[in-house]
Amino acid sequence: MPGVTFCPIASGSDGNSIYIGHDDTHILIDAGISCKRICAGLATIGVDPAALAAVFITHEHSDHIQGAAVLSRKYGVPVYASAKTWRYLERHTALSGIAPENKQVLPERYVSVTVNEVSIRAFDIPHDAAEPVGYAVHAGSLKISVATDLGHMTDTIRENISDSHIVLLESNHDLEMLQNGRYPAALKKRVMGERGHLSNVAAGHTLTEIMSQKLQYAFLGHLSAENNLPLLAMDTVCRILETNGIRVGTELNLLMAHRGAVSQKVCVSE
């Protein structure tokens, strides 16, 4: 049966790249690790990087764009980003050398880009970048959403990630670890700020709010190496879900998007 394959290649402050495949259409959300690592990660799940149809950039921070230029030059892959993101990137030459025809500007927000039979729609997120976005991907009757680098949860994000079959949501930090950790005060303030990153507790409450019969897999992503632990994030989110009557492992499969390694590949059929 037709379906979607989803696999985080990397997710964290050291680099982010998320694979989504539907039939013969293969795309990446972000390319924030080296081209070599992206290709190696794709190989582990049986995907030829030469088959990539597009890369969609969420924002211009290096952990989301690091490998995009090399990947595009080597395989001729179109790279999509918002207009303000492109303007920033071109000023800072972060994605230099990409062929002009492969520099694709996202349309106005809530207008979808169609790649073969897959529809990709950007939505606004609150983060300290030029014009950051998350993505909702529609493939047939299936929906996959990626939302990380969120200073706080908004109605726009909830609306765009609701009714997903698979969602990757930021679970960046444990608040107590962050407050008591080694970060300087200014950086702590940034992470906890309205345009920073989402905590484990906020991730748990968000998943509770968007839970539906459609949602089969939820990945916790973009964990801080300094202010979080995978087990702590899982335990915190599980506790919030279970307290709200959502049975993890029965009603919802909760998985970790690993920082430095390819995560579990999941498939959902129509």
3-state secondary structure labels for all residues of 151-211: CCCCHHHHHHHCCCCEEEEECCECHHHHHHCCCCHHHHHHHHCCCCCCEHHHHHHHHHHHC
- Supply the pLDDT for residue 138: 97
- Supply the pLDDT for residue 111: 85
Burial class (CB in 10 A: 0-12, 13-18, 19+), 139: buried
Is residue 91 very low, low, confident or very high in pLDDT (cuts 50, 70, 90)?
Answer: confident
Does 109 score more than 80 pLDDT?
Answer: no
Rounded mean pLDDT, 45-57: 97
- Supply the pLDDT for residue 47: 97
The amino acid present at 133, given as its one-letter code, is V
Contact between residue 192 and residue 169 where contact means Cβ atoms under 8 Å apart = no
Go through the domains of the chain in sequence order and give each one's CATH number.
3-269 (3.60.15.10)
Q: What percent of the chain has pLDDT over 70?
A: 100
- Supply the pLDDT for residue 1: 55
Q: For residue 166, give the nearest of 24, 270, 268, 265 by alpha carbon.
A: 268
Summarised one tens digit per residue, pLDDT across range 22-47 is 999 999 999 999 999 999 999 999 99
Query: pTM for the whole thing?
Result: 0.96
Look at the block and give the residue holding tokens 């969609």. 56
As a whole number of angstroms, the distance between CA 129 and CA 196 comes to 10
